[in-house]
Structure 1
Amino acid sequence: MKHSYTAIVARSFIAGLLLVGWGSATATSFPERTIQMVVGFPGGQSTDLAARQIAKGMSDILKESVIVLNQPGAGGGISHRTVKIAAPDGYTLVMGSTGTLAINPSLYSNLPYDPLEDFEPIVLATATPHVLFVSGKSPINNLKELVAYAKANPGIVAYGSAGSGTTGHIAMELLKKETDIDMLHIPYKGSPAMVNGVIGGDVIVGFEPISTLIAMQESGLVKFLGIGTLTRHPGFPELTTLAEQGLPKLEVVPWTAILAPKGTPAPIIEKLNIVINEVLKDPELVAEYNRNGRSILGGSSSDAKNHLEREHARWAEAVKISGSKVD
């Protein structure tokens, strides 16, 4: 049976209208059950903490539970694969980070997901500058002294990271290259273990989000050698930048973003974006983030998509310069 071109176009148009109508109706009733937000790092890490704060706010607004599921491993890759293959219905989300979304694609040879093709970006969430830190008992007080110590002990000094492929790992490899020092890399299973390793003297130094270290710095457990912002942080004006200390291009300010599986209906993405932006505007949350040196981002899903593309390219270059690779 032959069908006229006009008839085919008409049917396609009607089908499109039905699809849009279905998506709108779905978004109106969404959610009708618990939403899972998957995080690729252990509890207590900065990405996990941000996810739990946002999940709580979402639960309050949506009147449905939003729970955080920790799936650490493979530099966050396990969690992203879980969400990649989940049903695209808005009930399984992932809290991604600079490491999982911008660094891993260039670092890992067989990454089980494509950050730019396998997900629908919903919103940018947070940003937190890293600080270079040592134990409070360390004789090292700044970048110059760290470099001198490492050069006096080549191949013996070790640094810790929260895992291979994390922002702290790649940033330290860049630092090594820029300062021409040789340090061993000890990857830990998450930030808490790495921080304990630095405090206990198992490793000399590490990069970590400032928000998780403020109380430890105030109590003398750790010392800050410099912050990874290009200009001084308004919340910590006395803390010198690594740029001031001789690394003008080293910017270490990782971010987080929330994404859904590819194919999640646009109306659901839009609803989640609106809700999360509302959470991020909460005055108490904003005040807490300001106290802890963190920034709230927010914005549209298009903003998130464009940011991911830019950061993907920027960190690909950083990984190349660092010479790092994980098979």
Structure 2
Amino acid sequence: MQCIHKILIRALSLAALLSPTAFAQNGYPNKPINFIVPYGAGGSADSRSRQIAQKMSVILKQPIIIDNKPGAGGNIGTEFIARAAPDGYTIGMGNFAPMAVNKTLFGNLRYDPETDLSPIILIEKGPLVLVVNPNSPYKTIGDIVAAAKAKPSVLTFSSGGIGGSHQLSAELFELNADISMIHVPYKSGSAALTDLMGGNVDLMFDQMYSAVPSIKAGKLRAIAITSKKRSPLLPEVPSFAELGYPKVEVLNWQGLIAPKGTPKAIIEQLNAAANQALRDPALRELMLSQGNEIGGGTPAEFATLIKAEASKWSAVVKTANIKPE
């Protein structure tokens, strides 16, 4: 009887060791982790991914290898994550557009952000700032709205491409101000900003990290910011809420994701490592200096954010009748 009892205990112990949860607790990670960035090298998503990956690799005691898979507005890289083995050895950066916008915008994605991906943690979110050329006649939101109402579909706004936060911020503003402007998409945010500074377009909603240096240098004039409150980096710039447009709130965000089916224990381990990385003083100072809010929290909290954002931007895409290129 004792012999049978010992055999059962050994069998149960072996089964536990072979389970995904036990594997996460007793052996994960035991080889390098691939980190997919759905955008090209050198951009903001790539830079932040490398910074987070470096911190997490030290915590997890395994290399984390960055693999850039750009294209199709982030869809190619995000699909790659969704189709990877759910074993914790492929993770990636999940961004605003491919996670909350592109399902409605494209209509034929080969992945579903809700059913094919598992949120790990929010890394950061940051507002955009409405900017114009310093020689522009538009100095306030009132000036822009008045001009747009006087001459509908004449004012132009630039963006880094269809369906990104540059365009969607402007579309949300149009809907709430009941105005009509012309969208001028470029191949990148930097190209769109260059043409704005050259006086070829009227305005742009730009990311803080990109706009602030030019604002400080007098190369751009800031009109309003899309966060609920003013930014410490631009204390003189009012929020849209202050100016009577509380629904014009946009926070571009990104966070870590994994394929659906990745064991809960592995997700929790990655979440813990990322939370620890986000407490690093140097990384925090860098993120705050770029105008971002530092993320963190649980996978469930990140999932709730993604769901809310998908609902919000789906309505904007449909109402504004935004179509892919």
TM-score range, shorter chain: 0.7 to 0.9
- Aligned residue for 2:142? 144
Gap runs ≥5 in structure 2:
1-7
Per-residue deviation, 1:233: 2.9
Per-residue deviation, 1:260: 0.5
Letter in 2 for 1:102: A
**Secondary structure of the equivalent of 1:264?**
coil
Per-residue deviation, 1:261: 0.8
Question: Is the 2:38–2:78 contact (alpha carbons within 8 Å) kept by the matching residues of 1?
Answer: yes
Q: Name the % identity.
A: 36
**Secondary structure of the equivalent of 1:325?**
coil
- Aligned residue for 1:64? 62
- Aligned residue for 2:189? 191
The 5 A counterparts of 1:275-314 are: 275-314=273-312
- Aligned residue for 2:109? 111
Equivalent in 224, 227, 230 of residue 225 of structure 2: 227
Aligned equivalents of 1:91, 1:55: Cα separation in 2: 13
Letter in 2 for 1:38: I
Structure 1 position 320 matched with structure 2 position 313: no
Aligned equivalents of 1:92, 1:203: Cα separation in 2: 41
Question: Is the 1:122–1:269 contact (alpha carbons within 8 Å) kept by the matching residues of 2?
Answer: yes
Per-residue deviation, 1:199: 1.9
The 5 A counterparts of 1:199-214 are: 199-214=197-212
| Greater shift in the superposed pair: 114-123 or 205-214 | 205-214
**Secondary structure of the equivalent of 2:120?**
strand
- Aligned residue for 1:75? 73
Distance 1:142 1:50, change over 3 A: farther
Normalization by structure 2: what TM-score?
A: 0.87
Per-residue CA deviations over 1:59-101 (Å, capped at 9, x if unaligned) read 2323333233333322211111111111222222221122221
Per-residue deviation, 1:234: 4.2
- Aligned residue for 1:37? 35
The 5 A counterparts of 1:11-50 are: 17-18=15-16, 21-50=19-48
Per-residue CA deviations over 1:263-317 (Å, capped at 9, x if unaligned) read 1122221111111110001112222222322111111112222222222222223
Aligned equivalents of 2:262, 2:154: Cα separation in 1: 49
**Secondary structure of the equivalent of 1:129?**
strand
Question: Is the 2:30–2:62 contact (alpha carbons within 8 Å) kept by the matching residues of 1?
Answer: yes
Gap runs ≥5 in structure 1:
1-9
Question: Is the 1:46–1:212 contact (alpha carbons within 8 Å) kept by the matching residues of 2?
Answer: no
Question: Is the 1:126–1:256 contact (alpha carbons within 8 Å) kept by the matching residues of 2?
Answer: yes
Per-residue CA deviations over 1:225-284 (Å, capped at 9, x if unaligned) read 100012323443321112222322110112212100111122221111111110001112
Aligned equivalents of 2:221, 2:243: Cα separation in 1: 16
